[in-house]
Structure 1
Amino acid sequence: MYESGTAVTTVLRTILSSAFTGLLGLDSVQAGQFLLSRPAFVGTLLGWLNGCALEGARIGILLELLYVDFIPVGGVVPPNGAAAAAAGVLAHAAGGLAPSLAFFIGLAAGRAYAPLEMRLRAARSSWSRRVEEQVRAGDLNLSRWLSSAMLAESSALAAYSLLCAAAAAALAAVPGVGLLYPGTDFAYSLMPWLGISGLYFRFRTQAYKKG
């Protein structure tokens, strides 16, 4: 009975976390841009919500260090930090995987979300003609288009986060998955140094440009 109640609580927390991720993801482009969609914030928030605040913060901060130097240029869509943090934290908290493996799942999930985000942007671009016709007709009320775009973006990210959590839970049930942990633990231990070295070279380059 206790295990059943714990499972229900985990599922509810996972659904709630995915919904929060979808809302926070809007901050990156659609609304606000208050850095609420950054992996450091998303990881810490979801970690606290799922009872693993320290690991959530660590996963989010490490993802932040790796993503902070990614500069989107032209039509390039960067890895989604919110999706990465959510997938990583939920892979650990809901999926039951070790933090090291959960981190790399999150890293891959953030990159894998980019094509989906590109398709969402392309779909919104197809609305341009209808929006233009509406404006020409004298109707400047664009709230329907804005709300539709935000709903689609939020729902897609929430569903993606939930799917990643389910995939992580399925992976955790695979016999022998623990054999991966020594390798992922070692690689995970190197991530802070990799992130810090990236920041060092970035700041050094900026210093040379100013000089």
Structure 2
Amino acid sequence: MTTLSLAQPLNYLAPVVAVDRHGPLARDELVDALADEYGFGAGDAAVASARTLGLLTGERPHELTEQGELSATVLRGYGVEALDDLRLLKAETRGSTVAERHRPLAILLRNAFSRHPEFGLLLDALRAEGPRVHFLDLVERLVHEYPNVFLGAFCTTRGAVRARQLIESGQTRRLYADQSVWRDVIRNNVLFNFVQQLKHVGVLSPATLSHSGAMSEYDPDEKPWILA
């Protein structure tokens, strides 16, 4: 899930729109199309994320998977036939969320996320903790019930190594009770980009506050995750 690193999940649909319109594309061609027709400079991340969500094939040139074809059908039915159409929709969500402005697309994205095994388990953990989730309570549940989800979705590469060592040595509690540890192992963008994604797809309420500052400045008591 670390490939799902962009704050705006509509960007994950951009490769689908491009391939649906132009046919199979080599990676460089796809990235160029996103830059030229969508005005988006992080095309590599969008392509990687579309693959993670099972919307694009991994082979070169990239084609739509069955789920990608279904997504393209939904997008066309919603009036999105070109990358510029998607760009205009994205612009409409500034200061809001996809779930608030374009609910059918939020549902499409949420379903794509939910089919990903790690995200599905994370969603289960969130619902078990909800409706108001303290971040460290979520971490506690994940490290005990779904440790691989915690390691893969929440930790930096180096942090995952340290977290695994703590889990295997029976020091799991330090991952949510020791401030110096969880601030060291967890990726900063979990608190901003990932929270923003969850708000856009309608998992978290727009009232949830993301955290864009340094990890050392994050106070989970002040910024609970509120389920939609």
- TM-score of the superposed pair, with normalisation by structure 2: 0.23
More helix per residue: 1 or 2?
1
- TM-score of the superposed pair, with normalisation by structure 1: 0.24
